[in-house]
Structure 1
Amino acid sequence: MSLGPRLDLRHSQQLVMTPQLRQAIKLLQSSNLEVTAFVEEELERNPLLERDERAPPGPDAGRSTDPLPVVNDVPDAAAAASSDALPAENAAPLDAEWDNVYDGGTPPVGRGGSADFDDDLSGIEAMAAPDRTLREHIGDQVRLTFASHQDRVIAANLLALVDPAGRLNVPDAVIAAALGCQEATVTAVRHRMQRFDPVGMFCADLRECLMVQLQDRNRFDPAMGAMLDNLDMLARRDLRGLQRVCGVDAEDMAEMVAELRRLDPKPGARFDAPPALTLVPDVLMRRGPADDWIIELNPETLPRVLINRGFHARAVVGAKSRDEKAWVAERFQVASWLVKSLEQRANTILRVSAEIVRRQDGFFRHGVVHLRPLILRDVADEVGMHESTVSRVTSNKAIATPRGTFELKYFFTTAIAGTAGGEAVSAEAVRHRIKSMVEAEVPSDILSDDAIVERLRTEGVDIARRTVAKYRDALRIPSSVQRKREKAVPA
C-alpha cells in the first residue's frame, strides 16, 4: 500500500446561500411594514432606485371573477404631461390667481380647513385634546388643593415616587426623613391625595387601594373590611368560607363581590398607557360580484419601487474609470434584484393566500365552526412550493376579511378525528365549541370535562378527556369545581 498525493474527480450538488438569496428569504417572511422599512434604506443607498409615485389601482380596478386581482397599467405621468392635447374649454387665463379660482366641482374649503369661510378658529372645537399624563393630571389637583409651600413640596415628592399603577411603595417615615418634616404631615398629605381623581392612588398595597375607593363611595363597613383582610380566600373562590368570615349570607356576599369587581385595582394604569397596536393587514379580501372572493395586496403598505433607467444610462456614459463603471453596474444589479424579489414576493403571497381562502371558504361564509383542518403540506402541494416557503409566506402576515383581520397562521390547525370514521374537525373549531358550552351552562348544571367529551362525541368529534382539559386551560377556563364555586353565588 503506497502513500502519496492523488487527484480525484467527484460530482456533487450543493446549495450556495448567496447574500441575495438570504435577503430574498428574509423579505419573504417579513411583513409589508418591515419590507417597506428595508426598501427605504435601499432608496437612500442606491441612486438608481426611486419610489413608485403612481397611484395604486382603486378597489374597482381589475375586478374579475379570478380570485387574484388584475392590476391595470397606470399611464405614465410624464407622457401625459408632454401631451399636446390641452383642455380648451373652461380654460382659465394664464395670469389668473389660482387661489381664487373655483371650478364648482368640489365644495369650497375655507382657510380653517372646513367647508365654510369663517376665520381660522372656525374648526378649533373639532380638534382633539392632547392626552394628559398621570403626573400632569395629579399636578393640577395638587396646585388647587394645597396652599402651603410645605404641603406642595411633599405632594410633589409623593407624585415623583408613585409607580404607573398608582402604588406608593415607600413608607411615610422614609419620605419624612428625606424631607426633614414630621411623618404625620406626610401621612396627612398622602391621605388627601388618595381622594384625588382617580381615587385610590398613593396606597401601599391592594387592600388599602380598594378600601379607599369603598370609603369614597360610602360602601366600606366591617363586612367589607373582613373581605379585604381575606383577599386570598376570594382569589381561591372560597365564597362559602368568606361568608363565614364576614358573617353574611349568600345574597349579601354576591352584592359584596359585585361591588368589589366594580373597583379599579390599578387606578393609575389608565394614564400613560401605550396605544393599542393595530394589526395592519398585508392582504385584503373582499366579496366578488359572482359571490366569490377577490384577494389583493394592501396598497397602503405594499412597497413599490422602480429603476431609474434614464439616470442609469447617463451614469454609464458619464463613468470615467473602471471602478466607477463597476460601481454603477453593481448598483444596477442590486436594484434589479430588489424589484424582481418584491414582484416574486407579491405573487407568492397572493398564490398562498388564495389557496388558504379557497380551502377555508366555509369559515368566511359561516364562522369558526366551519374551520377546516389545514397543514402546510396541503397548501404547498397545491401551489407547487416547498413547505418551508409556505411557512415563510404565512409568517408575520395578516389578512383583512369580512369576519375581521387574522394572521395567516390562524388558518393552519391540527385535525381531530371524527367518530365512526366521520370527517375530521379543526382543533380551533373544537376550542370554540368548548368555550360556547361553558358560556351557556347554568349554575345548576356545570359541565365537567367528561360531560363536555360526551357532548362533543354526540356531535361527531372523537376527543379524549385530557385534550378537552388542555384546550380548556388554553382558553383560561377554570375547572368545573371552580366554576361551580363562582356560579353558586350570583355576581
Structure 2
Amino acid sequence: MAIGPRLDLRQSQSLVMTPQLQQAIKLLALSNLEIEAFIAEEIEKNPLLEATGTREEVAPEPEGGDAPDDDFTFDPTDAEPTTDRLVEFGDATADNPLDVDYDAETFHHDSAADSVRGQDGGLGLEGGSGGSSDEAPDIDAYVAATIDLHEHLERQAGEVLEGEELTIARHLIDLIDEAGYFTGQTFELSQRLGVALYHVERVLGVIQTFDPSGVGARTLAECIAIQAKEADRYDPAMAKLIDNLDLLARGGIPQLRRLCGVDEEDMVDMLRELRGYDPKPGLRFGGEPAQPVSPDIFISKTKDGWAIELNRATLPRLIVDRDYYSELNAGADKGGKAWLSECLASANWLVKALDQRARTILKVSREIVKQQEAFFLKGVEHLKPMTLKTVADAIGMHESTVSRVTSNKYLMCERGLHELKYFFTSGVAAADGDGAVSAEAVKSQIAKLIAAEGDDILSDDKLVELLNAKGFDLARRTVAKYREAIGLGSSVQRRRQRAMRAA
C-alpha cells in the first residue's frame, strides 16, 4: 500500500451551537420578568423590533383539549417546531415571522385575562400580579424609602461626633454587620488608625447608644444588656440572667432562679421582658429590599377543565416592524442592506423563540396539572411523587428542556403561589405497598401532628406510629429528617420551649 497524501470526502452530522440556538436555550430558563428585561436590551440593539402593550398570543385552553400547540412532531421542516427541534434544526435566517396584528378585534377576548375576571384568570385575587391600580400601594415608594443600616448610623454619628472621633466612628460602622453586631477588633483598629485603644472603645460606646437599641454590640449578651439598660431594667438579677443565656437556652429555669436570687413570679416577669428585646436589631434596616415574586402562569378551574395561561402582564408583545425595514432597505448601500438582513433574521428568530418558549411552558404546565390534579383539587396532602423524566416522557421532550422550563417560574392557583419545581418531589413508599406518596405530603402530615400534639409531646417514634397508621411507611430517621427540614425541633426541644413559654 502506497503512502502518500490524498483527498477524501466524508458526510457527517453535528450539532452546531450558534448564538441563536444558545439564545433559544437561555430563554427557556428565564422568568417572565427576566424576559422583559432581555427584550428591552434586544430592542435597543435591533431597530426592527418593537414592543407594544402585553403579549396575547397564547390563550388558555381546558386540560385535555385539542390545542394546536399540542401537535408537536419531530419533523425538522415543521413551521412550529418544539424547542428541542429548534435547537437541533434551528435556522435563524429563515424569514418565517410569527408577528401579526394583535390589535385586531379577534384577539381582544381570547383568554381569561382579557375578560372582566382580570389578570388572575378568575381566581378572585385583588390586583393581579403585574397589573396596576390607582388605589394600589406604591411598592417602589417603599423600596426607595429603605435606609441602609450603615447610612442610618453614619447620620447619627455626624450629629454627635466630629473630627477624629467621627473618622473612628465611620471605621467602626463599616465593621458592623447587617444584624447590627460589631464584627471587628478594637485593638486592631486602634493600631491601624494610630490612636489609643481607649479612644476607640469610647467611640464604640457612643455608637452603642444609637438607634436601633443594641446596635454595635459584640455578643448577644451585650446586645440584650444594652437594650435592658436603655429600658432601665438592668438590675443585678437581670444582669445575671443575661450572663447565663446559654443556661436559659437549655431550659434550666430552676437553676436560673437560684442564680438570680428571685422567686418564680419575678422569673416569669424577667423572661417576658427578655423576650421583648431584639436579638438582631440591625435587620430592621439591613439587607437588600425584598423583591416581589410575580407569577408566570395562572391556573384556574373552569366547567370545561383547567384554564392555564401565561401572565401576559409581564410579557411585552414583540413584533417586527417590516415597514421600517422596507424604508431603510430602499435607501441603504450594500453594507447597510447586509446589516438590515442580519437584524431581520435576528428579529424573526427572537419572535419565533419567544413564541415557542410560551408554548413549551404551557405544554409543561398542562402536564404538571394533569399529573398533580389531586393537589389542585384537595391540597398538599395529595401531592404525588413526580420527576422531570416523567413529564418529559409524557410530552415528548428532553428532560433538560423540562428542567429549564421549570426553573425560576412560579404558578398561581387557588392554593397559592408555588414554584414549578415544587411539584417535583421524591416518593415515600405507602404502608400498604400500593404506590407512593410525595415527601411534601409527609412533611405536611408531620407538621399537622406536631401542631395538634397539645401537652403530650410526640417523640419521633410516636410520629412513626401515627404516620404508619395513616399509610406512610417511614423509618424513624426519615421522620427526623423531614421534621428538621420544616424547621421543627425534637421532642426535647419542643418540651423545653413549651416550659419557657409557660414560665
Partner of 1:468: 479
Which amino acid counterpart does residue 464 of structure 2 have in structure 1? V
> Could you tell me which residue of structure 1 aligns to residue 397 of structure 2?
385
| TM superposition shift of 1:212 | 2.2
1:75 aligns with 2:103: yes
| 1:305-324 Cα distance to aligned partner (Å, 9 max, x none) | 11111122234433432x44
Q: Indicate conservation of the 8 Å contact 1:158/1:202, yes or no.
A: no
Q: Which residue is equivalent to 1:353?
A: 365
CA 1:464–1:202 in 2, change beyond 3 Å: closer, same or farther?
Answer: closer
Deviation for aligned residue 1:37: 2.5
> How much has 1:9 moved relative to structure 2?
7.4
User: What is the CA-CA distance between 1:396 and the residue it aligns to?
Assistant: 1.3
Corresponding letter in the other structure for 2:48: L
Shift of 1:326: 2.9
Unaligned runs of 5+ in 1: 78-113, 116-126
Number of the residue aligned with 2:128: none
Aligned residue in 1 for 2:122: none
- The one-letter code of the counterpart of 2:308 is I
Q: Where does residue 314 of structure 1 map in the other structure? A: 327
Judging changes above 3 Å, is the alpha-carbon distance between structure 1 residues 141 and 348 closer, same or farther for their aligned structure 2 residues? closer
Match of 1:457 in 2: 468
**Does structure 2 retain, via aligned residues, the 8 Å contact 1:133–1:272?**
yes
Q: Report the equivalent of 2:458.
A: 447
Structure 1 residue 224 corresponds to structure 2 residue 238: yes
Residue 137 of structure 1, CA deviation: 5.3
TM-score, normalization: structure 2?
A: 0.73
Question: What SS does the aligned partner of 1:425 have?
Answer: strand
Distance 2:354 2:188 in 1: 64
CA distance in structure 1 between the partners assigned to 2:41 and 2:146 by the alignment: 33
- 2:281 is paired with a residue whose SS is coil
8 A contact 1:285–1:399 mirrored in 2? yes
Alignment coverage as a number of residue pairs? 433
Match of 2:376 in 1: 364
Q: Deviations over 1:26-60 (max 9, x none)?
A: 11112222222222222222222222x145559xx
> 1:264/1:20 Cα in 2 relative to 1: closer, same or farther (>3 Å)?
same
Report the equivalent of 1:294: 307
Residue of structure 2 in register with 1:437 after alignment: 449
1:414-473 Cα deviation digits (max 9, x unpaired): 111111223421101101211222232234x22221111111110001111121121122
Q: Which residue pairs with 1:278 in the alignment?
A: 292
- What is the aligned counterpart of 2:488 among 477, 482, 485? 477
Structure 1 residues 458 and 250: alpha-carbon distance in aligned structure 2, compared to 1, 3 A threshold: farther
Alignment of 1:262-277 (within 5 A): 262-277=276-291
- How far is 1:336 from its partner? 1.1
Pair 1:342–1:214, CA change in 2 (3 A): same
1:48 counterpart letter in structure 2: L
- Is residue 295–residue 311 contact of structure 2 (8 Å, CA) maintained in 1? yes
Give the direction of change, closer, same or farther, for the CA distance of 1:233–1:11 in structure 2 (3 Å limit).
farther
- For residue 285 of structure 1, what is the amino acid of its counterpart? I
Instruction: Check conservation: 1:422, 1:460, Cα contact below 8 A.
Output: no
Correspondence for 1:38: 38
- The higher radius of gyration belongs to 1
Given that residues 165 and 266 in structure 1 are in contact (C-alpha distance below 8 angstroms), is that contact kept between their aligned partners in structure 2? yes
How far is 1:132 from its partner? Answer: 4.7
- Opposite residue 324 of structure 2, the aligned amino acid is F
* 1:21 correspondence with 2:21: yes
CA contact (8 A) 1:348 1:393 kept: yes
Alignment of 1:119-138 (within 5 A): 130-134=145-149
Q: 1:257 aligns with which of 271, 282, 301?
A: 271
Counterpart of 2:16, as a letter, is: V
Higher RCO (C-alpha under 8 Å, 6+ residues apart): 2
The percentage of counterpart residues that share the same residue type is: 47
My pick for the range that moved more, 241-250 or 254-263, is 241-250
Q: Secondary structure at the residue paired with 1:201?
A: coil
Partner of 1:293, secondary structure, is: strand
8 Å CA contact 2:59–2:309 kept in 1: the answer is no
Amino acid at match of 1:22: Q
3-state SS in 1 of match to 2:457: coil
Give structure 2 stretches of 5+ with no counterpart: 69-99, 106-133, 136-140
Q: Which of 339, 343, 350 is the matching residue for 1:327? A: 339
1:403 aligns with 415
TM-score, normalised on structure 1? 0.75
The aligned residue for residue 90 of structure 1 is: none
Deviations 1:339-358 (A, max 9, x none): 11110000000111122123
Question: What SS does the corresponding residue of 1:198 show, helix, strand or coil?
Answer: coil
Choose the corresponding residue for 1:210, options 205, 224, 229: 224
- For residue 306 of structure 1, what is the amino acid of its counterpart? I
CA deviations over 1:351-396 (Å, ceiling 9, x no partner): 1112212322332333211212211222223222222211111011
Report SS of the residue matched to 2:412: strand
**1:131 to partner: Cα distance:** 4.3
